[in-house]
A and B are shown apart, each in its own frame.
Chain A
């Protein structure tokens, strides 16, 4: 058991170093969420005056989306890095080490969590600097990170699964595009009551809606808002399902 945790630790360190190697690779995933936040809050600010919109500024309304996007973007790299390891042959070296193979997956997920924390942390600092206030306080910030990091790890399992099943870098990279429908067919840009009926229906079935609403409740509302617990429940279910799928692919890839 001791070696299980030490192996996990050493693999996490190895993977985490990949976040800033090269350092320039970090810039796009930090720039894009900030870019969307600035552009959307400036160009759509009048939207907050539409009847039925919550009693907050548009900047505050989409602040949770900026944090979510920053963390969402951090989840895509795990699959790409894994497919690189597989293509180069390094993955085979890892799987003939006398370690529990689960630690290889956990090492990847730890990297995702660290990257999510770094990227999300920078965006939160920026939001606080421009006057966005977390109504649930410091604990609310911690809860936001907890929810979104679990979500990022779940999403990264999709990339990991595709990497293991197809070993195709282009396919794994193309998963990035999937983020957009999942992100925009939600209440990220407007409350559900202001969405067209079809979009509102699709958003109801999109689990990411519940994650965004959970974070939004942590930023704009208080702990009694049920959206917070629905958000946590959603990421817990997603995590259980996606990790199981990734683990199963892991075992199949080895046979």
Chain B
């Protein structure tokens, strides 16, 4: 069990999209400093929407979010300085090289030039992309793109790292590589907030886990606590016992049928 003060505090958080689609229905939780926190749930459970609200990419309907003591909506730039975000969709500038992107983001985080240079060397080494740093990112494979995205989210040495399905679509080797990097970062004191579909990933990495379904958190605790609480042998069993899928599927279908759903930038 990680001891420490809460670095992420969420109270009664809700998000209702136009058309009265209630994606998040009153969520309260906290994450402690240096904790590896897992956020699980079926498709459409509201995980990505919650995460996007935490970094102010989606505007909350009600509730409060405090990140390292700062209100996410009132003081967004203070929050942005403290968080890194590797998103589900690996968005890279296809017309730039990895080095150029790291330099640009370092500058936009207002880091001194020497620090940017130091970070570039360190991060490219961490994600094992030193040899291809001067190639356009459009030439990267899926695994390389994920690894580079992780490096990019770390350029400003954030205190908290948000990861939305960071190993989705990766082969087992690439997945193990990312897990190794994440463990190193967490061991060094970084708070990590992870959403994933992979139970083994959550089990292998997370200190504590919350499972979300139909817009609410249905259970929360360490893996042993969850197994005990739900009289289960595996985390997957806990997941299946605590989540339903009818509403989630409805919401997914609703969004899929709405060609402009993405314009709301919702998850």
| Residue ranges of A at the interface with B (Cβ–Cβ < 8 Å) | 3, 6-7, 10-11, 14, 17-18, 21, 84-85, 88-93, 95-99, 165-167, 253-255
Contacts and interface: CB of A to CB of B under 8 A. Distances in A.
B109 interface: yes
A99 B108 contact: yes
Contacts of B100: 14, 17
Interface residues of B, number: 31
B81 A255 contact: no
B24 interface: no
B74 interface: no
A72 B104 CA distance: 29
Given A7-B108, A10-B108, A98-B110, A90 B263 contact: no
A166 B263 contact: yes
B175 interface: no
Contacts of B90: 89
A10 B260 CA distance: 32
A254 B265 CA distance: 7
Nearest to B90: A89
Contacts of A18: 95
Contacts, number: 74
B77 A165 contact: no
B91 A91 contact: yes
B265 to A, nearest CB: 7
A90 B93 contact: yes
A187 B260 CA distance: 39
Contacts of A21: 95
Q: Give the dominant DSSP class at A's interface.
A: helix
B91 A92 contact: yes
Given A18-B95, A89-B89, A97 B105 contact: yes
Contact of A255 (B59, B77, B92): B59
Nearest to B162: A96
B94 interface: yes
20 contacts: A7-B107, A7-B108, A10-B104, A10-B108, A11-B108, A14-B104, A21-B95, A85-B91, A89-B87, A90-B92, A92-B57, A92-B91, A92-B265, A93-B152, A96-B57, A96-B80, A97-B80, A97-B105, A98-B77, A254-B265
Given A17-B95, A97-B80, A10 B107 contact: yes
Interface in B68-88: 77-78, 80-81, 83, 85, 87
Contacts of B57: 92, 95-96, 254
Nearest to A9: B107
A93 B152 CA distance: 10
A14 B93 contact: yes
Given A14-B104, A92-B265, A255-B59, A98 B109 contact: yes
Closest 9 CB pairs of A and B: A89-B91, A89-B89, A90-B91, A98-B77, A21-B95, A98-B80, A255-B59, A88-B91, A97-B108
